[in-house]
Amino acid sequence: MSFSTLYRVLFKRNSVFVGTVLASAFVFQASFDSAVTKWYETHNKGKLWKDVKLQLQEGGDDEDEDEDDE
Amino acid sequence: MLSLRSSLRTSLKSLAPSTRMLSGSAVAAKSTYRTPNFGDSIKENNDPDRSRSYAYFMVGSLGLLSSAGAKSTVDSFISSMSASADVLAMAKVEVSLAAIPEGKNVVVKWQGKPVFIRHRTSAEVQEANEVQMAALKDPQTDADRTKDPQWLIMLGICTHLGCVPIGESGDFGGWFCPCHGSHYDISGRIRKGPAPLNLEIPAYEFEEDGQKVIVG
Amino acid sequence: MVSYVSRLAGKTAPHFGRITPYNLLTYAPNLMLWGGAWWAGVFVFTEAWPKFQETFYQKIPLFGGHWINEIPPEDKIN
């Protein structure tokens, strides 16, 4: 797409310009949030509740029994 | 003075055909400023739409980021006002009704306040319905105070000064407040004593076919 | 009897301030676009509102899943 069509389609009318900016802000919010959450969860893998819960379900009962024996 | 003015007028008249007086656009026409030649600074093959698009794209991106930031700021202020999870967890209390035999009271704690739950017998329901409205200080029918006439659920706080009334006592077979002697009937309505209002009814819902009540 | 014409035979077009039916019609396409822009702004600011998420945003085709947050029943507080 050449710059003149880009200019004509998106920037020429202020209403279209503002509308595009706000619509992409809406998409940006969601995707930015998803991206940050994804990064956070990979960075803290193994420490999050969903990972800890799986560990507890696998070996949680044994640990409790060990503690009772002592 | 007079001659000066007339001479000015004639001189203005002589000017009139050559220059446009009192005209804003005439300034440029009269200007002696020589416009410089920018030819050396102008890019070759310059596409004005390209530079415009670049500028508008930057403006738009700034607008995008600032609107997302503004929304985020507003959101964090508003969400800080909403109830936190621990408050929400305490907001409701669940009581199993199957464990309460007929003609018995149960007191549960809800948001730090006692809630009376009475499983009324049919004789008690009849007694509550037979009361004349004229005899009441705070007239309310029994149907207004219960969702299911079998179950009377109300806040166990005396409307006088906030004591907790004693169940199955008093002159009217209901509750009696030992602090200042308020008597409540079997529907929790004030009948005698200093309390001005009937015992308050909290919001509640029956669930699982009336096997459970959720107060709050 | 002589009849005098005391004013020009003209009528004022119906108007509200500067807005007349005619120029409203010419503004209409642009105003509709502004309406769309306004809706986009509303969407931006109600993005985190649970009621809006349930009614609209979860139903968006491709990335509607972003607003669906399922908590397993054993982790729920109520």
φ/ψ of residue B193, rounded to 5 = 110, 180
Q: Is the ipTM of this complex over 0.90?
A: no
The rounded distance, in Å, linking the Cα atoms of B141 and B131 is 9
A9 has a chain C CB within 8 A of its CB? no
Task: Report in angstroms the alpha-carbon separations of B31 from B12, B16, B34.
Answer: 19, 17, 8
Q: What is the residue-level pLDDT of chain B in tens, covering all 216 positions?
A: 556 555 555 555 555 555 555 555 565 666 788 888 888 888 888 788 888 999 999 999 999 999 999 999 999 999 898 888 777 777 788 888 888 888 788 888 888 888 888 888 888 888 878 878 877 888 888 788 888 888 888 888 888 888 888 878 878 878 888 888 888 888 888 888 888 888 888 888 887 777 788 877
Please give the residue range of the domain that contains residue B181: 114-215
pLDDT confidence of residue B12: 53
Going along chain A from its start, the domains and CATH numbers come out as: 1-63 (1.20.5.260)
| Domain ranges (residues) in chain C | 21-70
Q: What CATH code is carried by the domain that includes residue B179?
A: 2.102.10.10
The rounded distance, in Å, linking the Cα atoms of B15 and B12 is 5
pLDDT confidence of residue A66: 46
Contact A26, C47 (CB under 8 A): yes
Contact state of A25 with B68 under an 8 Å Cβ cutoff? yes
Establish if B80 belongs to a structural domain.
Answer: no
Report the residue from B50, B52, B64 with minimal CB separation from A25.
B64
DSSP string, B177-193: ETTTTEEEETTS-EEES
Catalytic annotation on B119?
Answer: no
When divided into structural domains, chain B yields a total of 1
DSSP state of B23: -
Report the residue from A4, A22, A29 with minimal CB separation from B49.
A4
